[in-house]
Chain A
Amino acid sequence: MAFSGWRRILVNRLTIIILLVFLLFLLGEIIFPGFMTLSHIMSILRLSVFLGIVALGQTLVVLSGNEGIDISVGSVVSLGVVVSAYILGGQNFKIPQALVLVPLIGFAIGLANGVGVSYLSIPPLVMTFAMGNVIEGLSLILTKGFPTGQAPPLLEVIGSGRLFGLIPYLVLLWILFSGIAVVMLRKTKWGNVLYGVGTNSLAAELSGVMVKRFRMYVYAMCGATSALAGLLLLSYTGTPYLNLGAPYIMPSIVAVAIGGTSLAGGKGGYAGTAIGCIALTTLNSILVAIQATEAIRQIVYGSLLLALITVSERRES
């Protein structure tokens, strides 16, 4: 309230992140001329979609408080990829089946996470870390190391096609998802309850919310979105590979933190996360382009997360 007009826009988190994305693109353009062409920007946006969907579930989990975090998202994405390919087997008419089953499997895994976190009071990071290993093992068991099946033609069109030859269908899908997410968080009773549970679970409990059950379902939703991200990832790659989800774990958390969602829960939203995902994907593209190894990327993401929590979590306490 104290801020008005220009100052308020300047200190707005979203403005800062959008500026950050722009700066990253500028940096990319300086290193690699042609980085900022429209078609390349669209490619980066399309790559951001998978992270964006994973980070959607992550945002919900983080918002629900209680040190909420989900490390199993990576393995669930990986499982989503191989299971989708297996169910689809390259046939268009099986798409509805996959669209129902794959998120359902993710939902069930998330539910198990939720039971451990909510009812058994296992710290979320520990619980989901362990679950991640189990699911990684499950992918191995199901595929025997060699994933079979592939994406059907229709799904591949969605994965690699572009509207008017410019805007990727996946990006349109993401915009739709983001819209639904933002409305759900801001305008529905469910969203209200989520913020309430994240800010002060005791108060929420006293006002009649079944906090434990509610939180359990939030983890289940995160599982479902991650599995769906796996299905979308398959639409892009066409053929399944093992462990495609692992590179999304750390960025999904960093994206939430960049987006201004408090990792202590209860504060933030999806719009920031979504733009954070674009920023991270751009950063990753630059890192890949300058041939930074896995080692460098780990150090960059680790330091970034540490810097972000130092700046934001400290200010709140």
Chain B
Amino acid sequence: MLKINRYVKEIYNSTAFPGILIFLILIVINAIIQPGFFTYYSFKLNLFSFTPLILVSISQALVMLVGALDLSIGAAVSLLTVFMASVMGDSPLSIALALILALGAAWAMSLFNGFFISYLKLPPFLVTYASSAIWFGIALYIMPTPGGYIPRSFYKFYRSDFLGVIPIPVLILLGIGIIYFILSRLKIYKHIYAVGGKEEAAWASGIKIHATRIKAFLWSGFFVALAAICLVSETATGDARCGLGYTLNSVAAAVIGGVSFSGGKGSLAGAAVGGVILGLLINILYFANVTSFYQTFMKGIIVIGALVVGSITRMKEQTTS
């Protein structure tokens, strides 16, 4: 009995608690308003729209953990879909090439941001705001209107079921879980928290600050590439604007998940849950028949609400500790 009590207390006090609570409430609301929420079909439908959001949330969390912020995530996702849709053809070779290009480009963008933020010590929000405009410009230059070509075989695969029952996104998320499990046991993971928490202390204990930050950015870039691959498989087009919404959503999701703006606090798992929460919230807008004129407004309110709830929890934490 005492043991259970302790667990309950532990959960209540954790940074993820408000997230978990909201998550459960949202499941109930969604179950009420979305017809057949618990059916296999709805599950799969939701999965498709949540997967890229979960991935960018993890990506944003990685950057935030080292005390930075990436406002170029949305534009990066867009640019990658544009790259892939312009390179892909029907041959397996061209598909492989497109995927490699996506990862390479994502890493190049991470290195670009990382160079200006870590080595030149420029404020992350300004660097990534500027690079966001550059990525968006390049994407728009290549594809002024949505288009390109994504082979049928490619997106059919994404929408298919492994062994006839397990949707591919589930496999991807499972893979992410495994990567997370491995990553959390690597030295770099501890270093990321150390650098984000107290940079001087991390430096004093011999951690290479720049290298750690750059590695965090590269991991973040890996998740951005994955998000873009999932998104392009879902939409089957390259679109310079398709990812723009992810910039703010990823920040909001990370914050709901307990990741703090000052770095060093929160977890990738929390951010992933934050992504699902945000997805469920946005779902409500669609299934509650909110008129399209109200959608931009309501989505904005949801994001601000998430930021406010996140910051209030953070303050509560600071006063108790």
Interface residues of A (CB under 8 A from B): 67, 69, 116, 120-123, 125-127, 129-138, 140-141, 144-145, 250, 253, 263-264, 293-303, 305-306, 309-310, 313-314, 317
Closest beta carbon of chain B to A280's beta carbon, Å = 14
* Chain A residues positioned under 8 Å from B139 (CB to CB): 295
| B293 and A302 within 8 A (CB) | no
B81 to chain A, nearest CB (A): 16
| Cβ contact of B138, chosen from A133, A299, A317, cutoff 8 A | A299
Given that A296-B137, A298-B137, A299-B141 are contacting pairs, would A123 and B296 also be in contact in the complex, using a CB cutoff of 8 Å? no
**Contact (Cβ within 8 A) A140 B296:** yes
A140 to B297 CA separation, bound complex (whole angstroms): 8
Given the contacts A295-B137, A298-B136, A306-B116, A130 and B303 also touching, CB distance less than 8 Å: yes
> What are some 15 contacts across the A-B interface (CB < 8 A)?
A116-B307, A120-B312, A121-B261, A127-B304, A129-B247, A133-B300, A133-B303, A134-B300, A145-B293, A250-B133, A294-B137, A302-B132, A305-B129, A309-B127, A309-B130
Closest-by-CB residue of A relative to B139 is A295
Question: Shortest distance in angstroms between B1's beta carbon and chain A's nearest beta carbon?
Answer: 39
**Nearest Cβ in chain B — how far from A130, in angstroms?**
5
Q: Which one, B49-57, B118-126, B183-191, B226-234, is touching chain A?
A: B118-126
Which A residues touch B134, using CB under 8 A? 298-299, 302-303, 306
Instruction: Give Cα A293 to B36, complex, Å.
Output: 46
The 10 A-B residue pairs with the shortest CB-CB distance in the complex, in nearest-first order: A137-B297, A302-B133, A298-B137, A134-B300, A137-B296, A299-B137, A133-B300, A295-B141, A302-B134, A295-B140
B301 at the interface (CB under 8 A from A): yes
Query: For residue A137, which residues in chain B have a CB less than 8 angstroms away from its CB?
Result: 293-300
Q: B311 interface residue, CB < 8 Å from A?
A: yes
Residue of B nearest to A308 (CB): B130
Taking CB atoms and an 8 Å cut-off, the chain B residues in 101-124 that contact chain A are 116, 120-123
Min Cβ gap B51→A in Å is 23
**Complex: how many Å from CA A217 to CA B120?**
33
17 new A-B contacts at CB < 8 Å, known A137-B300, A295-B141:
A69-B125, A122-B307, A130-B300, A136-B300, A144-B293, A263-B123, A263-B126, A264-B123, A298-B136, A298-B140, A300-B137, A305-B126, A306-B116, A309-B126, A310-B122, A313-B123, A314-B120
- Which residues of A lie under 8 Å from residue B137 when comparing CB positions? 294-300, 302
- Of B126, B138, B297, B311, most buried by chain A (CB within 10 Å of CB) is B126
A310 vs B126: C-alpha distance in the bound complex, in angstroms? 10
Tally the A-B contacts, defined by beta carbons under 8 Å: 141
Residues of A within 8 A of B308 (CB): 116, 120, 122
**CB of B267 within 8 Å of the partner chain:** no
Chain B interface size range:
35 or more
Among B116, B144, B304, chain A packs the most CB atoms within 10 A around the CB of B304
Contact (Cβ within 8 A) B296 A314: no
Chain A residues whose C-beta falls within 8 Å of the C-beta of B251 in the assembled complex: 126
A125-B121 contact, Cβ under 8 Å, with A120-B307, A141-B297:
no
A301 to B125: give the CA distance in the assembly, Å.
Answer: 16
List residues of chain A with CB within 8 A of the CB of B71. 125-126, 129
Contact of B304 among A121, A130, A317 (CB under 8 A): A130
Q: Give chain B residues whose Cβ lies under 8 Å from the Cβ of A302.
A: 130-134, 136-137
Q: CB-CB < 8 A to A300: which residues of B?
A: 137
Task: Decide if B140 touches A126 in the complex (CB within 8 Å).
Answer: no
B307 touches A127 (CB 8 A): yes
What residues of A have a CB within 8 angstroms of the CB of B95 in the complex?
none
Known: A133-B299, A299-B137. A122 touches B294 (CB 8 A): no
Closest chain B residue to A69, Cβ basis: B125
Residue of B nearest to A313 (CB): B122
Complex-state Cα separation, A94 to B34, whole angstroms: 47
Which residues from B are CB-within-8-Å of A131?
Answer: 300, 304
State whether A293 and B297 are in contact (beta carbons under 8 Å apart), knowing that A133-B303, A302-B132, A305-B129 are contacts in the complex: no
Given contacts A295-B144, A296-B137, A306-B134, contact A123 B126 (CB under 8 A): no
Docked pose: A135 CA to B129 CA in angstroms: 20
- Please give, as numbers and ranges, the residues of chain B lying within 8 Å of A144 by CB-CB distance: 293
Q: Is B73 engaged at the interface, CB distance under 8 Å to the other chain?
A: no
CA distance A314 to B127 in the complex (A): 12
A237–B306 alpha-carbon span in the complex (Å):
38
A49 to B72, CA, bound (A): 30
A129 to B129, CA, bound (A): 11
Q: How far is the CA of A174 from the CA of B312 in the complex (A)?
A: 41
| Minimum CB distance partner of B125 in chain A | A125
| Given A131-B304, A293-B140, A314-B122: A141 in contact with B116 (beta carbons within 8 A) | no
Q: Is B85 an interface residue (CB 8 A)?
A: no
Find chain B residues with CB under 8 A from A303 CB: 130, 134
Q: How far is the CB of B225 from chain A (nearest CB, A)?
A: 21
Query: Which residues from A are CB-within-8-Å of B271?
Result: none
**Nearest residue in B to A306 (C-beta to C-beta)?**
B130
Look across to chain B and name the residue whose beta carbon is closest to the beta carbon of A136: B296
Instruction: Chain B residues near A309: list those with CB within 8 A.
Output: 122-123, 126-127, 130
Task: Evaluate contact between A134 and B304: CB separation under 8 angstroms.
Answer: yes
Q: Which residues of A contact B252 (CB under 8 A)?
A: 130
* Docked-complex contact B298 and A67, CB < 8 angstroms: no
Residue of B nearest to A302 (CB): B133
B214 at the interface (CB under 8 A from A): no
- Give the residues in chain B near A145, CB-CB below 8 Å: 293
- Given A130-B307, A264-B123, the answer on whether A301 and B300 have CB atoms closer than 8 Å is no
Closest chain-B Cβ to A294's Cβ sits at a distance in Å of 6
B253 CB-CB contact with A under 8 Å = no
